[in-house]
Amino acid sequence: MKDIIGGIHIISLNFILSSILFLFTFCYMVLLHYAWQNRATPISISYGLGVMAAFFYTFGYAFQLLSTTVEHMMFWIHIQYFGIAFAPFVWIVMVLQFTGNRRFLKKKWLALWLLGPIYTLSAHFTNEWHHLFYRSAGLDNSLGFPLIDLDRGPLFYIHIGCMYSYHLIGLGLLVNLYLKSNKERKKQAALMMIGSLFVFGVPFIHSIGAVKVPIDISPFGLVISSLFYLWGINRFNLLKLSPLAMKKVFESINDAVVIFDTDNQLKLYNKSAKRLLAQLPDKKLIGHPAAEVLSQFPSLVQFIERSTKTSAAAQSMQLKDKYYTVHFSYVEGSNHQPIGKMFILHDITESIKYEKSLLEQSKQFEYLAHHDVLTGLYNRTYFEEEVKRKLAQPGKANAAMVLCDLNFFKEINDVYGHLTGDHVLMFTANCWREQLPEPSILARLGGDEFIMFFEHIASKETFMKQIHEVRSAFQENLFRQDGIEIEVVPSIGAAFVEEDGNDYEHLYHTCDTRMYKDKKKTKAFYV
């Protein structure tokens, strides 16, 4: 009876071991989910791939323990080798990311790191052709259930050498990081090293036969390491942004960041600050006061020295040929007391240029809304609005309006062309502008028509004398261009508020009527 019970106990051992391994495949799934949640950091992705490698190894070995033939066991060993082959590769990638040696993760280096997994898979899956990875495979029933007994060949030990060379390289990088890091970083580096001993150390002991155990204890080493890493992840935030990663983030910020202590002495700055403040690359300036470090920027020094302990602030200022918004905030210690001042300088030069451009465009639009494009005089709309506004004001009894157009202007366009006609209009506008009595508002209504409004005139007689003097000036001052001489012959009609009323439309109509009377006389004179 005791023999039967003992036999049942021994025979069930493989099921117990398999159950333990199956249980931990679920642990790997939890770790994989955690890595996925933190996938924003590259090390989380490589860590997740490492978990997948451990999953293949553990899952495959769990089924191997339940297999009863060499063929079935070799099938599950093939599954395991997808994890075994890539585990060293994933390890070295994760360590390179963790230690900040990303230059060794470029394509040519990744191709080099992949040589190990490629060799292992090639040697293992072609073993049936050469039998140099495993010379032979048989069954071992010493524990009361079948285990595979493999006679390892030379290619297997080359695989072991490749695998552990990756481990040693990674350990060397971690030791170097540990020696140079602060306390928090040392804890993370130590965690990585200790965890790797379970991942690589246990398989190594089994591979060289240092411990005579028929069962492959390597997956159980992975189980221990998974528990260890799970604890470390929660205890030391292994997959969170490490201090090294934070430093890289700090250096990659496009804004210039400068940190002073509470006594305004320089403590830290990033690459963008070096580009802005040319003198900062001099490391000797660390510890020097802001007034000395930033002597070229007195406005910035004043802002730094005025910053108080109780509030954050922002100020826009010009430094050299650029504009910045300078944000100030305090850096707090573990006791929530200020231990430093951080200044972030955000370049707003392009925004300022854009605002100036909009302002210029706005001014141009405003100008175009009120002015005639050809002559630069006011246009009809502005003239009408402005004159109506002035007529509505008291004390305009001595105001006058004058309407003018050019005789024979159609003939000028027909004979000399419209371009010359435009030049004649600009010439006329300049003559009126230079010789009219002030104050006046001069506008072009369109075509060859001009209109003027005079707020104050001395008397009707004096004013008309002045207008006729200007008209006479056209006879003496001819338009000349490219050998062409043209006499500008204006017709004029005037209306006076004192005798014609202060209604805009009535004044305009009166001017128009009198101008056409003048036009008949003028044309008759020239004919």
pLDDT at 313: 74
pLDDT at 283: 58
C-beta of residue 262 within 8 angstroms of C-beta of residue 217:
no
**Can you say whether the dihedral through the CA atoms of 412, 417, 419, 420 is positive or negative?**
negative
- The helix (run of H) or strand (run of E) holding residue 115 is helix 115-125
| Measured distance CA(498)–CA(501) in Å, rounded | 6
| Measured distance CA(69)–CA(266) in Å, rounded | 72
Q: What is the strand order of the sheet 440-446 is part of?
A: 440-446, 449-454, 400-407, 489-496
How are beta strands 489-496 and 400-407 bridged, if at all? antiparallel
First-to-final CA distance of the chain: 149
Where does 181-288 have alpha helices with state H? 183-196, 202-207, 218-236, 243-252, 271-276
Place of tokens 């205890």: 235
Tokens of 59: 């899952």
pLDDT at 508: 93
- The helix (run of H) or strand (run of E) holding residue 325 is strand 322-332
Choose among 527, 375, 403: nearest CA to 467. Answer: 403
| Measured distance CA(344)–CA(146) in Å, rounded | 68
pLDDT at 383: 92
Of the CA atoms within 13 Å of residue 241, those in its CB half-sphere come to 7
pLDDT in tens, the chain (527 residues): 344 334 444 447 778 888 888 887 877 787 777 777 766 666 677 777 888 888 888 888 888 888 889 899 999 989 988 888 888 898 888 888 778 787 888 889 989 999 999 999 999 999 999 999 999 888 888 777 788 888 889 998 898 888 889 888 988 988 888 887 767 677 777 877 877 777 776 666 666 665 566 677 677 677 677 666 666 666 655 555 444 455 555 555 677 788 787 777 777 777 777 777 665 555 566 777 888 777 778 888 787 777 765 566 777 777 777 888 888 877 776 566 777 788 888 887 777 777 777 777 777 777 777 888 888 888 998 999 999 998 888 877 788 999 999 888 888 888 888 888 889 889 888 888 888 777 688 999 888 899 999 988 888 888 888 888 888 888 888 888 888 888 888 989 999 988 888 889 999 999 999 999 988 887 766 65
